[in-house]
Chain A
């Protein structure tokens, strides 16, 4: 009888230990880990978001932290934020997109989404360069980043731009507590810049 109980207890323990990793896995990004320097940026952002009205994004946080960061670093942190909404209420409230896109990327996405909502052709790359006040190469780079994050996608049928919003929700993103493609950057004299909602 005792050995039978021990066997049942052992089976229960094995079953329980099998459950624990799967519960933990649900809270962290599967297969995505951050390097120490990427983690430093993430920590900076999470600390920033604890301050009133703050929503400093990855690009600005990388600059504030200092050091050399690449587009791949921003992508890695972006994917990590996308996969881990439990990290901070700001992510759950406003979405990961607004925290990972640059002001230029947001502006381009905002204008394209509006054109699609209104059944208009979006601006061409040349027009975007003028509107956003950047080079044509920077417009192309922004479109590629938006594509990489799955927010826009290539579509040769879109004349002049070659991209469209990847999902309907990116056309209809505006509304209460929706700041997906909005950006407000603040610089207080003598302090590091930050972003607010």
Chain B
């Protein structure tokens, strides 16, 4: 997420991951640091901060 909000903040970025707990696939699409699409819809995205 640090990459998306920093180095890649002006880019269209797709991230494929999986839940640490259930193993369920996670698919995220960002544009200009903002979430454009995410699956599953219940995914919570933390973009950094204190």
Contact = CB atoms under 8 A, between A and B. Distances in A.
Interface string A44-55: 000000001100
Interface residues of B, number: 17
Interface stretch (A13-21, A77-85, A144-152, A183-191): A183-191
A186 B23 contact: no
A132 B23 contact: yes
B37 interface: no
A189 B25 CA distance: 21
Interface residues of A, number: 18
A66 B48 CA distance: 35
B23 A185 contact: no
A110 interface: yes
Interface in B1-46: 2-3, 7-8, 11-18, 20, 22-25
A128 to B, nearest CB: 9
A196 B7 CA distance: 13
Contacts of B3: 53, 186, 196
Contact of A188 (B8, B16, B24): B8
Contacts of B12: 188-189
Contacts of B2: 53
A87 interface: no
Interface in A109-133: 110-111, 131-133
A29 interface: no
Interface of B: 2-3, 7-8, 11-18, 20, 22-25
Given A53-B3, A189-B13, 13 more contacts: A107-B18, A107-B23, A131-B23, A182-B20, A183-B18, A185-B15, A186-B15, A187-B14, A187-B16, A188-B8, A188-B11, A188-B12, A188-B13
